Amino acid sequence: MPLILLAPLFGFVVVLTGVRGRRAASNVTILTALVMLAATLLVGWARFRQNTPYRIAYQWINEPVSFTGDQRFQGFGVDLSVRIDRYALAALAAALVIFLAALAWHRVAAPREPGQVRYHVNVLLLMLSVAGVVVSTDLAELFAFWAVSGIASYLLLGHRWGTESSARASQVALALPFLGDMALLSAVGLLYSRFGSIDLDKLPPMLLSTPGVGLKSLTAVALLLLAAVFVRACLWPLTAWQTASVEAPPSLLALVSGVWPILAGSLLLRVLPFVGAAGPQAPRAAGYAFGIAAVAGPLLGLVGTELRRSLLLASSGGVALALLTVVYPASAAAGLTGLLAVALGRAGALMSGSAAVAAMRTADLRQMGAAGRIMRGTAAGLIVGVAAFSLGPAAAAAWRPRSLASIALAAGLFLVALAGFRVAFAVVVGPLRRRRAFEPGRVREVQVSLVVAALLAGGMGLLAALLSFFTSWVVYLGARSQEVPSVGTYVLHVAIVLVGAAAAAAAFGLRKDRSLAVAGRLGSRLGTGWATAEAILARYVWRPGLGVVNGVEGIGLPAAERGAGRAASAAGRIAGRPLPWITVAAVAAVVLAVVVGVVTAGGRP
């Protein structure tokens, strides 16, 4: 079993069973991440020139379930199968950088966070399942690791036991993404029911050559898979499962929000053949959904003044743009690189932003400022992170074929940059005002380790974004011929990002107070609207549903039971009385004869 999977499994067991202290747990976890990263880089170096992926498999379940009928359904097996190609290596490396940055950040910034061993156990579980998702080629195995990643994320986002906000947020973090997980399971079920296989390597050749399987089934599969990707990538309008968790420990928020786009992109890459085989409808639907999310997410990020929520929403647009690019095989490699850049940049920006929040004792952008003067490292980390998730999709977008979607791409790029740099400028420039029980003069730069951790993630994201401009890298990653965009296309997309940044500078750098005041008012209106929508949902959906259950549980069922009880006791009383038995026997015989006559077949002439 490759070290990539064995190492986190071993670390998980060690920390769960043997470790009691904070430092020991942290050391084991960081060591595990380093070992995994070393293994990833080693495999990457070893297979640098090889185009074929590395494969290995172990049987987990292998049973004959039938001895007759269609041969495809006579056996059932789930393998622990591993496929390591360049996509997987790149995704793993990016994910592990996020893990290392988050772990280093947590070690320094949160020594007093309760539940330290629990924290590391859950991080190791997430590490194992992330690696599993990225390298799996068996759909059942992939789903298993996917679901465990979801459970680990839920446990992490709800880490702060005993706090109402954390508990409420983790509630959403479990329930909402479960919808996507069930969509994935349904897609796997539909695929198996049509093709008798759940192997991602064997299925693509069968998609269009299996008799009896039409476009409808393939489209349903494709849409379900895209739904799973959409939900877990945390795109508008399903961003709540992360934006509601802004009060989770910062390292965990950065970790979860950084890692899931990578997983979503990995899944999307793996299932591209199914999307392609479904005809034009599925990619078109994906285009619409991702395109709308790319615009709506950052737009929503402009409303309100909570720093972490704004960063999450702004970067969600970047994720949507990158995924939109991944959907098309010709631009998949560029899209993945852009996605990695967004994920890394998001994680770095969140860590830097959280450091600023902790130092300035507020998450409200209206009350923050002057980080460029008194917290330069943090400011640099924030700007680098935002630049990474703004630029990441820009290069990817250059590879997309021209279409109407280009308009959405351009709008999305602009809005992502605007919303992301809004946060950066709001924190970096302008005065830091005195508040009750807060003295601006006491604000200091955070520890160097925290700055370095955030810069590591953001810097790697920026590097990935820049790498996506190099066609040789994109071609190497894609391992097939890619249509190379012109320099002018690159320049155009970068220019859109720069225009967005300039607009943010003008609005939130030069006219910071007024712009943020408007954003704050819009945010509170949105909050009111959201509360109204929740009340309407409760009134017209939940309460009627609960009313039905109340009726059944509180009235219907007890009435039926009471009636049955009364009938039984009445029968008992009747049986105890002297009755005209001949009449009773005659009636019973007639009833029995009718029943027997109804249920048994009659004779034929």
Partner 1 sequence: MTGANLLVATPLWAAVVNPSPSPSATPATFGANVIGFSFLLSLLVWGPAVMAVVIALVPNPRGRYERWFLGIAFWTSASVLALTLIAYQQFQVFTTGVQFEENLPWLPSIGVSYHLGVDGIGISMLLLSALVGLCAVIASWEVRERPRSYFVLLLLAEAAVNGTIAARDFFVLLLFWSAVAVPLALLVAGWGERPRAAGAAWRLLGYWGLSSAALLTAGLLLYQAAGGSDFAIDTLTHATPTGRLQVVIAALLLVAGISRLPLVPLHGWARAVWSEAPTGVALLTAGVASRLGGYLLIRVMAAGEHDASRTLAPILSGLAVLTVGYAALAALRSRDLRRLGAYLALIPGAVTALGVAGLSPLSLEGAVLSLFTGGLAAALVVGATAALAERAQTRSLATAAGLAGRAPKLAWLLVAGCLAVLCVPFLATFPAGLMIFLGSFRTQGPAALLLALGLVADAGVVAWMLHRVLFGAPNPDAPNPGDATLPQAWFLGILVGTLLWVGLVPGGPKLFGVPLFDPGLVNVVNTSTPDLSSPYAVPSPSAPGSSPSASPSPGTGPGTPTSPSAGP
Give the nearer residue to partner 1 in terms of CB position, either 582 or 601: 601
Question: Residue length, the chain?
Answer: 605
Q: Which amino acid is at 291?
A: G
Among 206, 411, 452, 505, the residue binding partner 1 under the rule CB under 8 A is 206
Question: Residue 108 interacts with partner 1 (CB under 8 A)?
Answer: no
209 touches partner 1 (CB under 8 A) = yes
Min dist. Cβ of residue 600 to partner 1 (A):
6
If binding means CB under 8 A, how many residues of this protein chain bind partner 1?
92
Candidate residues 13, 31, 38, 175; the one interacting with partner 1 per rule CB under 8 A: 175
487 sits near partner 1 (criterion: CB under 8 A): no
The interface with partner 1 within residues 566-585 (CB under 8 A) comprises: 568
In this complex, which beta carbon is closest to partner 1, that of residue 145 or of residue 260? Answer: 145
Identify which of residues 527 and 558 has a Cβ nearer to partner 1 in the complex: 558
> Considering only residues 99, 195, 236, 421, which one is a binding residue for partner 1 as defined by CB under 8 A?
195
143 sits near partner 1 (criterion: CB under 8 A): yes
Q: Please say whether the beta carbons of 85 and 478 come within 8 A.
A: no
| 342-401 binders of partner 1 (CB under 8 A) | none
Q: What is the phi/psi pair of residue 248, to 5°?
A: -70, 160
Which tokens sit at 573?
Answer: 């009383």
Which single residue is written with the structure tokens 């390597």?
201
Minimum CB separation of residue 81 from partner 1 in Å reads: 6
The span of 157-165, 483-491, 494-502, 523-531 binding partner 1 (CB under 8 A) equals 157-165
In 3-state terms, what secondary structure has residue 306?
strand
> Which CB, 175 or 589, lies closer to partner 1?
175
Question: Do residues 418 and 504 touch, judged by C-beta distance below 8 A?
Answer: yes
At closest approach, how far in Å is the CB of 13 from partner 1?
Answer: 12
SS3 for 275-299 is HHHCCCHHHHHHHHHHHHHHHHHHH
Quote the crossing angle between the two packed helices 307-326 and 281-301, to the nearest 10°: 160
The residue from 185, 292, 358, 503 that contacts partner 1 (CB under 8 A) is 185
Please, which residue, 170 or 315, has the CB nearer to partner 1? Answer: 170
597 touching partner 1, by CB under 8 A: no
Q: How far apart are CA 29 and CA 232, in angstroms?
A: 25
User: Which lies closer to partner 1 via its Cβ, residue 147 or residue 333?
Assistant: 147
Angle at 95 between CA 199 and CA 48, to 5 degrees: 70
Between the alpha carbon of residue 221 and those of residues 217, 261, 279, 291, 368, the distances in Å are: 6, 21, 12, 21, 47
Minimum gap (Å) between residue 101 Cβ and partner 1: 27
DSSP letter assigned to residue 435: B
Q: Residue 153 is which amino acid?
A: S
Question: Is 10 one of the binding residues for partner 1 (CB under 8 A)?
Answer: no
Interacting residues of 416 by C-beta distance below 8 A, sequence separation 6+: 294, 298, 314, 315, 317, 318, 321, 389, 390, 393, 497, 500
Least separation in angstroms between residue 236's CB and partner 1 is 20
Figure out which of the listed residues 199, 365, 417, 453 binds partner 1, where binding follows CB under 8 A: 199
Q: Token digits for 10?
A: 């071993």
- Least Å from the CB of residue 83 to partner 1: 9
Q: Which residues contact 106 (CB under 8 A, 6 or more apart)?
A: 26, 113, 119, 249, 251, 252
Minimum CB separation of residue 162 from partner 1 in Å reads: 5
> Does the protein bind partner 1 through residue 85 (CB under 8 A)?
no
Single residue of 8, 158, 369, 459 touching partner 1 by CB under 8 A: 158
Binding residues among 53-82 for partner 1 as defined by CB under 8 A: 54-81
Say how far apart CA 69 and CA 86 lie, in whole Å.
40
